Amino acid sequence: MFDILAILSLLSAIGLLIALSAIDLKHWILPDKLNLALGIAGLVFHFSTGYAYVDIRDMLLGAAVGAGMLYVIRFFANRHYETDALGLGDVKLLGAAGLWLGMEGVLMAVTAGAAAGLVHGLGVAAHTAWKNKTKFTIRQLAIPAGPGFCIGIAVVGYMMFSSFVSAYLYDLFS
């Protein structure tokens, strides 16, 4: 019974990460309702697995570190660029990710997400330079951060929870 809740939580998280990425790419916003749903799915997952992957303390610490770290980065980036360089939706996304991944996992997700964002940004810059027949530059490049973070969250989530899915599928089909 509880295993199906965990699987449904994982499936909803995948759908939410895809939806958050698509919305951020199109509208430059990460809706609060979807970030909240992602966090709740994480709570349900860990409750239904008996906190086998991340305990309550680490979940709360992960949420605080994920959101807190991004909030500090947002604060200084917004001051430096004198505009919203990073939105509060990104902060909330990393808070929800912390509930899923714990402190160590959310730090890995931010790192992987930043790398994915860098690749995305370089691709956009290269495409823009090719399309406009201009010099390649990233000086004025602006891309949403959410999709990169979603990729980082998904990669770390896969690393952490794939054994659960494998065991569930094995039990289901054996």
Lowest mean pLDDT among 26-40, 111-125, 134-148: 134-148
What residue spans define the domains of the chain?
Answer: 2-173
Quote the CA–CA distance of 39 and 135 in Å, as a whole number: 42
Q: Is the pLDDT of residue 34 over 70?
A: yes
Strands (DSSP E) along 7-145, which ranges?
none
The mean predicted confidence, pLDDT, of the chain is 95
CB contact set of 3 (below 8 Å; sequence gap of 6+): 48, 168, 171
Q: Report pTM.
A: 0.93
Following DSSP, what letter does each residue of 124-142 receive, concatenated? HHHHHHHHHT-----TT--
pLDDT for the residue 136: 83
